[in-house]
């Protein structure tokens, strides 16, 4: 149980285009989802926290107009990188925190590798 999926696993796009990444909790309802960014050989940095049905809370320094987060249901959150540029190339990882017995742990997706040319 407690599986989180991400789609796509890899994406390559041209500079200036937008990319949408989906994060799904497959077998539980995620009351809160988190989006992290990881540069090569570095740690994960929290970008934003999203709760179902409400606006995401962004960390300082993260542009909310560039990284659009939608948490439309208890099993789906999306991250859209708008007008992507090469510096946005990174590994994006989502995590989900459930309700009930799953409320005390974050379950991570496998990540999405974004390369902007």
Is 44 among the residues that bind another protein (CB under 8 A)?
A: yes
CB of 100 to another protein, least distance (A): 15
Which candidate, 89, 44, 50, places its Cα nearest to that of 68?
50
- CB closer to another protein out of 87 and 104: 104
Is residue 98 a contact point for another protein (CB under 8 A)?
A: no
Q: Does 89 bind another protein (CB under 8 A)?
A: no
Do 96 and 107 touch, CB atoms closer than 8 A?
A: yes
Tell the residue number behind the tokens 């990882």, with chain if given: 93
The distance of closest approach from Cβ of residue 80 to another protein in the complex, given in angstroms and rounded to an integer, is: 20
């Amino acid at each position: 149980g407690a599986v989180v999926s991400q789609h796509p696993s890899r994406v390559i796009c041209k500079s200036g285009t937008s990319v949408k990444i989906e994060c799904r909790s497959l077998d539980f309802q995620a009351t809160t989802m988190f989006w992290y960014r990881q540069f090569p050989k570095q740690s994960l940095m929290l970008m934003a926290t999203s709760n179902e049905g409400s606006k995401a809370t962004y960390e300082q320094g993260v542009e909310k107009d560039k990284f659009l987060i939608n948490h439309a249901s208890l099993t789906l959150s999306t991250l859209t990188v708008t007008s992507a540029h090469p510096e946005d190339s990174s590994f994006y990882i989502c995590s989900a925190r459930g309700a009930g017995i799953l409320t005390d742990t974050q379950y991570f997706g496998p990540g999405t590798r974004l390369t902007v040319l």
